[in-house]
Amino acid sequence: MPVDALKFCSHCGSDRLAFRVPDGDMLPRFVCAACGTIHYQNPKVVVGCLPVWQGQVLLCKRAIEPRHGLWTLPAGFLENGESLPDGAMRETLEEANARVRIDALYTVISLPQINQIYMMFRAELLDVGFGPGAESLDVRLYDEADIPWEALAFRTIGRTLRNWFLDRKQGAFPLRLSTLERRPPPPDLAGAG
Ligand SMILES: [Zn+2]
């Protein structure tokens, strides 16, 4: 499991960090040999929403890496001291200058390989006065038929959108809980070395 490597103890400044299983624990952690502090690392929450205006979905074209130039729903890392709905609203304002009313939580996707959890809400766009924020090249409303499926930034976004269009046909939006494992290599590369 990948971890963020620590160089220095944030408690005492020592560089004498060992990656080992502390007494009584089950998993390896960075443990400071100088002061004994155990540095626990836990997944980060990515929060966002699926803003809808008259049946169309708001997408943002990314102006930042990773996945520069690809399309996404407004989403980003939850900040300390922030509720999930507030985080979704803030990301939508930052990336799309868009005001939304946050509705129910819709997709929760675990990404254990990169230590992230996506939490996406359904949302209603309150007006069409949106436009690209600093992290976006473009912001547009899309009909289902025009969604740029081949140019989406993240699998979590594709999964959320596919679920939403299917659920819309059924007329109900139950919470969709899932896990995305690491993508297997494409067939033409499998066994190539
Ligand atoms: Zn220390």
Taking only the tens place, the pLDDT of each residue in 105-162 is 999 999 999 999 999 999 999 999 999 999 999 999 999 999 999 999 999 999 999 9
Band (pLDDT 50/70/90 cuts) for residue 4 is confident
Quote the pLDDT of residue 183: 72
Does the pLDDT at position 36 exceed 70? yes
Quote the pLDDT of residue 1: 47
Strand partners, 116: 44, 111
Quote the pLDDT of residue 193: 44
* 31 Cα: distance to centroid of ligand 1 (angstroms): 8
Tokens of 92: 């939508």
Kindly give, in sequence order, each residue whose CB lies less than 8 Å from that of residue 79, ignoring residues fewer than 6 positions away.
Answer: 87, 90
* 10 Cα: distance to centroid of ligand 1 (angstroms): 7
Band (pLDDT 50/70/90 cuts) for residue 95 is very high
Band (pLDDT 50/70/90 cuts) for residue 21 is very high
The pLDDT of 159-167, averaged and rounded, is 98
Residue 150, sorted as left (phi over 0), alpha (psi -120 to 50) or beta, turns out to be: alpha
* 69 Cα: distance to centroid of ligand 1 (angstroms): 42
* 78 Cα: distance to centroid of ligand 1 (angstroms): 27
Does the pLDDT at position 185 exceed 70? no
* 1 Cα: distance to centroid of ligand 1 (angstroms): 23
